[in-house]
């Protein structure tokens, strides 16, 4: 695995060098240095699980056959496309870009990082909070997103699945942006209403905002590289989406109960009035008096309000409820995976599940 990650990182260096010499744009010294710094700060950090999963999945689909250097490079290039996309989206570089997807006149309501109160990402300050960056991060997000088709065009234009790759990335981006929209319009300042929150709303947000790009995209890339038609693998997509929902529920739990040093960020779901799995379950379990406490304190930034909500979670044993959910989810997913007719696909799905079960970050 260490050797694979080393090869993966070398491919990043190749892709970065090529993008910094892209003939479509006449770089100045300052602009080249800015893009290089922006890429190095945002793209290769973190665990790189999404990107590495393309190589892992492709290798498992080959059922033990040793991959050629060319195959490793191409799978790595696709993995880096996902990491590029993740940097533009999940690491909040496009905190203002979402306003262009939604409604420009209300952009201040949908500045994702600011609405989330995000200060850190992957254990370091968010890019837009660095000196001299600020609003320039808007354009940086656009630049990052536009690097993806440049990479795909250079290395996959002659492949029979090139159009399918473009369709895949475009579709997943649309799904993710739509999920982000649902998330944002449930937390508009001045319209805080816990009665809007339910398990079905939470599931819908998570399915589109997280599951497709965090889980399905990597495997779909590996399937296309293997010559498979995605339309014949709807069952695989459904399992991965369910896995992605389980993953986000874990994230919601860790936002409240996880160690910031371990997870690499400071959780702010309570302050931000997020439609978190924890608050949805709390609403299901609490009595009228407890519900009143939740309504009075959830979504307020004061530490006392946050502490009151966390105390209520303890009172309702939300940690125990989560442990039960995690156990049942694991059993259900394992049953679905073992019911798949392809042992190679089973291996891919079991690999994903094994990486996230009972994770602490």
Of the candidates 56, 183, 269, 272, the residue annotated as catalytic is 183
Closest of 313, 356, 307 to residue 333, by C-alpha: 356
Q: Which residues are within 8 A (CB) of 221 and not within 5 positions of it... i.e. 6 or more apart?
A: 54, 57, 58, 75, 78, 79, 81, 82, 165, 168
116 phi and psi angles, rounded to 5 deg: -75, -15
**What distance in Å separates the CA atoms of residue 267 and residue 102, rounded to the nearest whole number?**
25
Of the candidates 7, 107, 129, 300, the residue annotated as catalytic is 107
Of the candidates 91, 252, 255, 269, the residue annotated as catalytic is 252
**What distance in Å separates the CA atoms of residue 339 and residue 210, rounded to the nearest whole number?**
25
**Tokens for 326?**
């995690």
Of the candidates 10, 25, 40, 47, the residue annotated as catalytic is 47
**What distance in Å separates the CA atoms of residue 167 and residue 337, rounded to the nearest whole number?**
26
Check: CB of residue 212 under 8 Å from CB of residue 175.
yes
**What distance in Å separates the CA atoms of residue 278 and residue 37, rounded to the nearest whole number?**
38
- CA dihedral of residues 299, 304, 310, 314 (deg, nearest 10): -140
171: number of Cβ within 10 Å: 14
CA angle 172, 254, 130 (to 5 degrees): 70
**Tokens for 292?**
């009143």
Of the candidates 112, 113, 255, 269, the residue annotated as catalytic is 112
**What distance in Å separates the CA atoms of residue 58 and residue 199, rounded to the nearest whole number?**
34
Verify whether residue 209 is a known catalytic residue. Answer: yes
Beta strands in 91-131 (DSSP E): 120-121, 124-125
Verify whether residue 91 is a known catalytic residue. Answer: no
Verify whether residue 247 is a known catalytic residue. Answer: yes
**What distance in Å separates the CA atoms of residue 310 and residue 307, rounded to the nearest whole number?**
5
Question: How many residues belong to the chain?
Answer: 361
Verify whether residue 116 is a known catalytic residue. Answer: yes
Of the candidates 164, 251, 255, 272, the residue annotated as catalytic is 251
Verify whether residue 26 is a known catalytic residue. Answer: no
Of the candidates 145, 209, 237, 265, the residue annotated as catalytic is 209
Of the candidates 8, 128, 247, 352, the residue annotated as catalytic is 247
124 phi and psi angles, rounded to 5 deg: -135, 160
Check: CB of residue 187 under 8 Å from CB of residue 115.
yes
Of the candidates 50, 92, 121, 145, the residue annotated as catalytic is 121
Verify whether residue 259 is a known catalytic residue. Answer: no
User: Catalytic site residues?
Assistant: 47, 107, 112, 116, 121, 183, 209, 247, 251-252
């Amino acid at each position: 695995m260490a050797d694979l990650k080393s090869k993966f990182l070398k491919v990043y260096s190749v892709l970065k060098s090529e993008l910094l010499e892209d003939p479509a744009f006449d770089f100045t010294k300052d602009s080249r240095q800015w893009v290089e710094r922006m890429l190095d700060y945002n793209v290769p950090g973190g665990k790189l699980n999404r990107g590495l999963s393309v190589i892992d999945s492709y290798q498992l689909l080959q059922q033990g056959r040793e991959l050629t250097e060319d195959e490793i490079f191409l799978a790595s290039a696709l993995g880096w496309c996902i990491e590029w996309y993740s940097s533009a989206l999940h690491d909040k570089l496009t905190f203002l870009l979402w306003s262009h997807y939604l409604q420009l006149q209300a952009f201040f309501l949908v500045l994702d990082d600011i609405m989330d109160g995000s200060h850190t990402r992957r254990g370091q300050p968010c890019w837009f909070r660095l000196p001299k960056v600020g609003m320039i991060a808007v354009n940086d997000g656009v630049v990052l997103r536009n690097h993806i088709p440049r990479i795909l065009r250079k290395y996959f234009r002659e492949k029979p699945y090139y159009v399918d790759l473009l369709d895949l990335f475009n579709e997943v981006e649309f799904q993710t942006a739509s999920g982000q929209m649902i998330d944002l319009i449930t937390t508009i300042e001045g319209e805080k209403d816990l009665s809007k929150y339910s398990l079905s709303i939470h599931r819908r947000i998570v399915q589109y905002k997280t599951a497709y790009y965090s889980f399905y995209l990597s495997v779909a890339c590996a399937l296309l590289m293997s010559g498979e038609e995605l339309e014949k693998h709807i069952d695989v997509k459904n399992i991965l989406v369910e896995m992605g929902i389980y993953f986000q529920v874990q994230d919601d739990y860790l936002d409240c109960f996880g160690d910031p040093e371990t997870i690499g960020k400071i959780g702010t779901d309570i302050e931000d009035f997020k439609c978190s799995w924890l608050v949805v379950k709390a609403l299901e379990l609490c009595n009228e008096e407890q519900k009143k406490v939740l309504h009075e304190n959830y979504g307020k930034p004061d530490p006392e309000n946050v502490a009151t909500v966390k105390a209520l979670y303890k009172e309702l044993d939300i940690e125990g409820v989560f442990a039960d959910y995690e156990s049942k989810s694991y059993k259900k997913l394992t049953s679905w995976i073992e019911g798949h007719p392809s042992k190679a696909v089973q291996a891919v799905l079991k690999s994903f599940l094994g990486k996230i079960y009972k994770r602490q970050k």
